[in-house]
Amino acid sequence: MREAIINFPKQFLFKPEIENGGKLKLAKFKKFIVCGMGGSHLSGDLVRTWKPAINIIIHSDYGLPPINHHNKGNTLIIASSYSGNTEEAIDAFKTAIKSKIPVAAISTGGKLLELAQKYRVPYIKLQNDGIQPRMATGLGFRALLKVLGEEKALIESGKLAYSLKSIKLENKGRGLAKKLKGFVPVIYSSQRNSAIAYNWKIKFNETGKIPAFYNVLPELNHNEMTGFDVKAGTRGLSKKNYFIFLRDAEDHPRILKRMSILKKLYNDRGLIVETIDIKGSTRFHKIFSSLLLADWTAYYTALGYSVDSEQVPMVEEFKKLIIK
């Protein structure tokens, strides 16, 4: 796992190529639906974080979301599965074929690429580095940019292979993991950075093997925060949480003010809050620097609890049980 984190920036050297793409006219599509689960839909989340104007929906379920009959021709379904064997993504692909809705696939192989080749639809084959799907967001991000026709963004994101310095974030992640020992992380961010906060959460879940939760401002100011208005009878519930506020200087000024006030309110109630600034020279750099810090923190969290940081045995056990 440590090597995967160190080598993460190299993923931005990946040059995705669309196979069977001769008939794919990207300019005609006005809407994109990324169908994937777990680490395989993270790229879609991050594309929305980078460029909210793109009309992209993330569908993490079987089948497809409702699509207006008049929009079928200008909607592209993108089935994404790192392994190529995720049953929900495969089901979405089959539904698109059956419904005669344009579809493309992104995967390292497996059943999904077999189907793409069988039906001669466009697909991108990811390089298989033998890493967990949650660690392949760079590969998936670049593949998705290619399918979306974002060629300029491909060039710009390629610079991350040289500007991201993973090893420089290791000590900070190690230090944060030590402070988190014995606590449940709760990650907060702005709505525009919700994908980053969600990534932090799942890194703690899958790599650190601990419970973790996330939410966004301003919504949580209208509900969740009242659950931490500590009283004598509820102090035991709240004291096990460690709040991580992901602060972005580019967020709306009112969001920044809300975050500052919320930190004071939580501190006044004896809750632990740590603010981590999302920093970087570009939007891409900010996003992936934060995710690398999350990787290091989760990795050292796993070491602190003496658990395997890479494999996800409970997920594998679940998969075996559900096919019976």
What would the pLDDT profile of 127-158 be if each residue is shown by its tens digit? 888 888 889 999 999 999 999 999 999 999 99
Rounded percentage of the chain residues whose pLDDT exceeds 70:
98
Q: Is the pLDDT of residue 22 over 80?
A: no
In whole angstroms, give the CA distance from residue 224 to residue 204: 21
The full DSSP string for 220-255 is GGGTGGGGG---TTTHHHHTTEEEEEEE-TTS-HHH
What are the Cα distances from residue 182, in Å, to 204, 240, 242, 254? 13, 7, 9, 33
Task: Return the pLDDT at 243.
Answer: 98
260-279 per-position pLDDT tens digit: 999 999 999 999 999 999 99
**DSSP annotation string for 63-126:** S-----GGGGGGEEEEEEESSS--HHHHHHHHHHHHHT--EEEEESSHHHHHHHHHTT--EEEP
At 306, which amino acid appears?
Answer: S
Candidates 110, 120, 64; CA nearest to 85 is: 110
User: Mean pLDDT over residues 24-37, rounded?
Assistant: 85
pLDDT digits (tens, 9 = 90+) for 52-62: 888 999 999 99
The answer on pLDDT for 182 being more than 70 is: yes
Min mean pLDDT across 64-73, 184-193, 224-233 is at 64-73
Q: What pLDDT, on a 0 to 100 scale, did the predictor assign at position 27?
A: 66
Dist. CA 76–CA 178, nearest whole Å: 45
- Residues 189-214: what's their mean pLDDT? 96
- pTM of the predicted structure, to 2 decimals: 0.93
pLDDT at 23: 66
Phi, psi (deg, nearest 5) at residue 69: -55, -35
Question: Which pLDDT does position 41 carry in this prediction?
Answer: 82
Which tokens is 88 given? 């929900």
**Bridge-based pairing state of the strands 123-125 and 103-107:** parallel
Report whether pLDDT(42) > 70: yes
Looking at every residue in the chain, the average pLDDT score rounds to 93
Ordered by where they begin, the domains of the chain are 2-161 (3.40.50.10490), 165-304 (3.40.50.10490)
pLDDT tens across 218-271, in order?
999 999 999 999 988 988 899 999 999 999 999 999 999 999 999 999 999 999
| 25 has pLDDT over 80 | no
State residue 68's pLDDT score.
Answer: 80
Residue 7 CB contacts under 8 Å (≥ 6 apart), including other chains: 129, 166
The answer on pLDDT for 69 being more than 80 is no
DSSP run (H or E) holding 178: helix 170-180
What pLDDT, on the 0 to 100 scale, is given for residue 229?
93
